[in-house]
Amino acid sequence: MDTSDKILETDWNIIKDCSSEIANATACGIDDRLLRGKLFSELCTLRDKYGRLPSILATQADYENSELQLSLLKEAYSAACEIYDVKNKAYISSSLVEVYLEIENESDKLNFWLKIFYSNIFDYTDDYLEMLVDEFKEL
**2 domain-assigned:** no
Position 75 confidence tier, pLDDT thresholds 50, 70, 90? very high
Q: Please choose, from the candidates 103, 79, 101, 102, the residue with its C-alpha nearest in 3D space to the C-alpha of residue 89.
A: 79
Q: Residue 65 above 90 pLDDT?
A: no
Mean pLDDT along residues 76-95: 98
Q: Give the pLDDT of residue 138.
A: 85
Residue 96: is its pLDDT beyond 90?
A: yes
Q: What pLDDT does residue 78 have?
A: 98
Position 3 in a domain: no
Give the max Cα distance, the chain.
42
Query: Does residue 76 fall inside a structural domain?
Result: yes
Least confident range of 17-21, 60-64, 66-70, 118-122: 66-70
Sign of the CA dihedral with 123 first, then 127, 129, and 133 last: positive
Residue 4 domain flag: no
Q: Is residue 35 part of a domain?
A: yes
* CATH code of the domain covering residue 34: 1.25.40
Q: Structural domain of residue 60, as residue ranges?
A: 9-137
Euclidean distance between CA atoms 10 and 103, whole angstroms: 36
Total domain count, the chain: 1
